[in-house]
Amino acid sequence: MENHRKKRRNFIFTIYTIFLSFLVFSSLAFLFVLPGPKREYVSKVVIIPKGATATQIARILVKSKIIDRGSPFLFLAKLEGLDEALQAGEYELNNRMFYTAILKKLAKGEAVTHKFTIPEGFGMEEIANTLSQQELAGKDRFLELCRQPELFREVFEVEAKSLEGYLFPDTYYVLKEVSEEKIIRLLLTNFKAVTEKIDKNGNLCQKIGLSFHEVITLASIIEKEARQPKEHPLISSVYHNRLKRGMALEADPTVLYALGYYKPKLTYKDLKVRSPYNTYLYKGLPPGPIGNPGESAILAALTPANTDHLYFVSKQDGTHQFSKTLKEHNKAKNYY
């Protein structure tokens, strides 16, 4: 009988303990998992700095009015095993989010990304300026790294003194705290993917008798000369024809690159500037690219149109008049 009563007391105690635990757990869940009481809606981008601890992050969230108190947030972070997994970055948060949702977002690194665009033909300096203006990279650091292509051989081996020509123009999305090294790797990886798609085995390079570096150099000149991609193969044919005949390329963009600044019209004096990039003075291709060409220009450098053109002149509308002889070219120059 006594034994039966003891068992009954134990059973009741167990049920009571389970019920009490359930109440405590439910209260904690309500307190820690749910957002704070309904109040004025607050949504903002919160910056979590590198190296911030869970405690520091909780303080930032309280200060930003995303959460009311830090202790429930910290308790849940420890309970979920995420207190040491929270990542730095810019996060779009609001004060009606569940604490679990905030924690998971920070733990997964689902930060706000920043968009930047590199237009076709941009040079290293212009890219560096773009990134610096958007506060995504330090200009000097970016350029310093671009002049050390050996640092990025595991991504793409560039046989040149800089990465000029190999920083693929496109639209990119990066985190605010991304390093200059990672941005360069991103651009090089894209360049590699595009060029492998165009000429994976290097057969086209062999067919036209140019090295890969020479192809990118030629593509950069084509990119600078033509505003309209449809003209890329035609302009490419002019340069290929001149190279085959041993003629100077006489490409104005190479002179501008040699001068180091842009001007709308070149003078006779400009055409005499002493630089290996001046294709009026020196035959053949310049030592390297004069900008970063896009896919269309690279493809055109590899697959020029089949023409007898040796000259072209701007029509002042973004297109060009192509000529086979110097006589035709001079006539076109006088007309336009």
Domain end (from 108, 143, 177): 108
> Do 125 and 216 fall into the same domain?
no
- 132 with 193, same domain: the answer is yes
Give the count of domains, the chain: 3
Between CA 230 and CA 27 the distance in angstroms is: 68
Q: Are residues 257 and 329 in the same domain?
A: yes
**Structural domain harbouring 223:** 203-335
Q: DSSP string covering 2-33, please?
A: HHHHHHHHHHHHHHHHHHHHHHHHHHHHHHHH
257 and 149 in a common domain: no
Residue 313: both structure tokens together: 């002149």
CB-based contact 323:336 (threshold 8 Å): no
Q: Which of 165, 199, 233 is the last residue of a domain?
A: 199
The predicted-structure confidence for 241-293, as pLDDT tens digits, reads as follows 999 999 999 999 999 999 998 888 899 999 999 999 999 999 999 999 999 99
Strand, helix or coil for residue 174: strand
What's the Cα-to-Cα distance from 27 to each of 23, 69, 194, 197, rounded to whole Å? 6, 16, 56, 58
pLDDT digits (tens, 9 = 90+) for 304-322: 999 999 999 998 888 999 9
Express each pLDDT in 158-189 by its tens digit: 989 999 999 999 999 998 888 999 999 999 99
pTM for the full predicted model:
0.80
Same domain, 245 and 267: yes
Q: Per residue in 268-277, pLDDT tens? A: 999 999 999 9
- Say whether both 14 and 86 belong to one domain: yes
Q: Express each pLDDT in 110-146 by its tens digit.
A: 999 999 999 999 999 999 999 999 999 999 999 999 9
Cβ pair 179, 152 in contact under 8 A = no
CA neighbor of 299 nearest in space, from 241, 239, 236, 238: 236
Which of 73, 77, 106 lies closest to 89, judged by CA? 106
In terms of domains, do 148 and 103 share one? no
**Helices and strands (H and E) in the chain: how many:** 13, 6
